[in-house]
């Protein structure tokens, strides 16, 4: 009985694919390291509250102008902080997606990010 998988070209083709996958993985790792070093800032309340995240979306800093601190309206300040953080993280997420697509050629490869 012949090879049930047909002619797959031997292991040479598989070896080449594995080499390409390893190279792509290494490039994605490099992108992740670069993203960890980048800083993205977003503001809310007309710039009164600023959130800074890494390119990976990790919150690294929050700045609050003292003028926006009102003990009578803590809820507004909380909303401003949440808004700035969400916007910064969304921008970081979009940046990650863009950078990974550049490396992978737009292929959705599970586990790379």
Res 10: pLDDT: 52
* pTM of this prediction exceeds 0.75: no
Task: List the domain boundaries for the chain.
Answer: 40-102
Residue appearing with tokens 């047909």 = 6
Q: What is the pLDDT along the chain (113 residues), one digit of tens a residue?
A: 554 444 455 556 788 888 888 888 888 899 999 999 999 999 999 999 999 999 999 999 999 999 999 999 999 999 999 999 999 999 999 999 999 888 887 666 555 54
**40-102 CATH fold:** Ybab; Chain: A; (3.30.1310)
Res 12: pLDDT: 64
Res 3: pLDDT: 47
């Amino acid at each position: 009985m012949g090879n049930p998988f047909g002619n797959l070209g031997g292991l040479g083709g598989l070896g080449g694919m594995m080499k390409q996958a390893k190279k792509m993985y290494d490039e994605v790792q490099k992108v992740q390291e670069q993203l960890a070093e980048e800083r993205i800032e977003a503001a809310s309340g007309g710039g009164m509250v600023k959130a800074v995240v890494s390119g990976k979306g990790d919150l690294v800093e929050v700045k609050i102008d003292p003028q926006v601190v009102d003990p009578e309206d803590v809820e507004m300040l909380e909303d401003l902080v949440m808004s700035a953080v969400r916007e910064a993280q969304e921008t970081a997420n979009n940046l990650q997606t863009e950078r990974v697509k550049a490396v992978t050629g737009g292929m959705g490869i599970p586990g790379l990010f």
